[in-house]
Amino acid sequence: MSAIHPDDPPPFDEGEYSVLQVPDAWHVLSLVFFIAALGSRFVVRFLPMWRGIWFRPVLTAYLVPVLAGLGLLFGLIALRNPATRGIARIAVFLNLIVLVLSVFAIAAFYWIMPD
């Protein structure tokens, strides 16, 4: 029997629960950022109001593609792991849809607004 070091993960063949490590959690981070992108309106409410009432909608509009872009990045990193590739594809797809639609919304806003 070999000695187990504190940094080693627990053995999986003895019926113990495994520890979720960061390399295994990229798809989870991607889905968390997807949810944060959808709920960015509520995330912005936690910020103090220091620029007036018009600052919050503008910040929300720009926060959605930023969070979706981060979720897309984490989803693409998660695609490297064959064990989580299925859920990572779903996370990439969802974040890509949110990113494209939010960029279209920002572009339409600037196209409609007068100079």
Alpha helices in 52-112 (DSSP H): 55-78, 85-112
d(Cα 62, Cα 75) in Å, to the nearest integer?
Answer: 20
The residue among 45, 68, 67 whose CA lies nearest residue 56 is 45
Place of tokens 């720009």: 62
Over 60: is that where the pLDDT of 15 sits? no
Over 70: is that where the pLDDT of 4 sits? no
Provide the whole-model pTM.
Answer: 0.74
Per-residue pLDDT tens over the stretch 33-82? 999 999 998 888 887 776 666 677 888 889 999 999 999 999 999 999 88
